[in-house]
Chain A
């Protein structure tokens, strides 16, 4: 321990001892970031009628309750469907936009890029209100199609940014050489470029799914009835009946999201040189 405190922590001469405060600070920040998420996990295994921490008695009854409830199952199914569809809509559109912006020397490309990522910067509640008014006219409120399209608005910027970053480190001459050797532009992209940026595309697709799966604000406006998403139903449940089912669902969602994020990291790392 003594040795470790006095050992240099980096190429500079700063020792681990001198860095100790930094390690403690970083630890506290990490705990603060993760705690609200992690705290629902013990709460979900409580036997009590109410959300409580720490639980006095343990049980899995709220998991049973969740899986037995037709309402919760329907909401889960809606969320998974919308998440998958959002992924399928946002990924190709985002990839195409990122590619187009990357290869074009169009004068207003930067302007188009900013426009594409605007949904990330505008308060989501504004998008929710706007989408709601448009959807009333189009009769898209409370439809799978409607929620999918609205979630795609949020997911496309992520895809554009992730794939755009991958294209920046990709050597476009490969595509040029493929074209000079006889490939059409589309074939050159599919056979040469896409396989080499595929990890970023997969990462982007998973992020698109999570974006939709976790989204609640827009869902509040335009998802309801039979097509209520899981997050929306949870929000309602929190308001009407505070029982630990919420905690069990949260735990499952954390598990799903974490798995996808870890998967995206593994995919992103593999061969990522």
Chain B
């Protein structure tokens, strides 16, 4: 298998997703989700194992850390706006982190989940690197946490525009905070598409919500 196969098929599938979205103009037709489905379908149809695909595709993932560092750029550009609205920003992220912990707790009660699964879901809205550690620390199943974090990100990225329209959310600051707090970096890639203010606020939310969850999760973990 050529090393560049994984990289090429990922990029081509994403481009296909962009074309499909342009053609049908549907918010639900998300290029990222389309790319993931196309790549999975292609691997299943051809019988190419994931390990072979990932030999080349993994280099794409390596750029995630420097890309996260670069989230400082939109944040820096909107620093004046952040200072002016500091109270709203902190209140919103705090409310979001609390809403995440409490809703996971409520759902765990409804489904009578054992502790190991419950704590695996607690860090579902924060960035993978922090979430994995939180889950491990609390005795969760790390695989379940990773899958849930990624699906949360994709789902948030896909539905955000619809949610904002239904709830009549107009403020770019509010949209950015909601995307970053609910759907971490994958949500932030949508926020960056919506605009610079959205992108900046979402970038900030990844860091703040992530750090807050580190503090909150151990307290919540003991409740079930």
- Chain A complexes with chain B: no
User: B-contacting residues of A (Cβ < 8 Å)?
Assistant: none
User: A-contacting residues of B (Cβ < 8 Å)?
Assistant: none
